[in-house]
Amino acid sequence: MATILDGKIFKQQIIDELKPRIAELTAARRAPGLAVVLVGNDPSSEIYVTSKVKTCLELGMRSEEIRMPATSTTAEVLAQVEALNQDAGLDGILVQMPLPKQIDSRAVLLAIDPSKDVDGFHPFNVGNLAGNIPGPRPCTPAGVMELLRRYQIPVKGKRAVVVGRSDIVGKPMAMLLLHEHATVTICHSRTVDLATECRRAEILVAAIGRTAMLGPDHIAEGAVVVDVGINRVTNREEAFRLTGGNAARMAGFDKKGSIVVGDVDPVAMAERSSAYTPVPGGVGLLTIAMLMSNTVECAERRLG
């Protein structure tokens, strides 16, 4: 039977490991500080921001939540970012994506002080990642690596396939695996014979953003499967098929009118893999934990 890589266990473990570091910083200088900027009222972003602020407060960190109207301009968001750059009591700045269409997202990300870039998206920190130089790493890929490490899943010398080439997950995920001496292949929408490429993987990471796109033909027997996708299914017939009619999950569907599944067919993943991350309950839980970790590390560097 496949091992379920439970993110909940290690999320709490990471949070608990941060507490003494935060206490030491607070006693010596001040508590680490994180600012989250939310522009507009995207429902998913609202949930993420609320969770981030709540976790900060639980850890005794300073938390700033800046909400801006959906009609904000690029200039207004840039002015807010610059004000946060100048705030000596803040160690991390996170601008919640996606931004409204009229805002230049790239300009906003470039405006964040690299020493406060807890998402690890600024070109300076992307360069540090490429060179394997210490610095904040994108939270979701960093969470994947923590999950593999804490479950003692070997990476060195393994064949890894990352499906997806986004700047947020796919590319940094591939670099982090490469730094741990995996042999890495990146697949994407133009990959010829995706299933064959995926079946070569001993570690398969799916970060495509398409509901259950990878099925049994994509998974080698005994592979470790990491599903980064978060997709909402509102069709009951499709939900039944993807859950194999699981009574608990279908009860959840009937209560909420939807379920969340990843980029990999969950039944195929459970049947063919040696270990896998469930959706929900897997990688997503570690993303916020790694954000907190990045903020504490930025505070330690800034405060010496």
Task: Give the residue numbers marked as catalytic.
Answer: 52, 96, 119
Q: Which residues, at least 6 apart from 16, have a Cβ–Cβ distance to it below 8 Å?
A: none
Distance CA 115, CA 299 (A): 9
Distance CA 96, CA 192 (A): 34
Q: How far is CA 269 from CA 9, 182, 183, 206, 226, in A?
A: 21, 21, 22, 11, 9
Residue 167 — φ and ψ, nearest 5°? -70, -25
Q: Is residue 93 within 8 Å of 84, Cβ to Cβ?
A: yes
Q: Is residue 200 within 8 Å of 226, Cβ to Cβ?
A: no
Distance CA 178, CA 175 (A): 5
Of 183, 178, 37, which Cα lies nearest the Cα of 99?
37
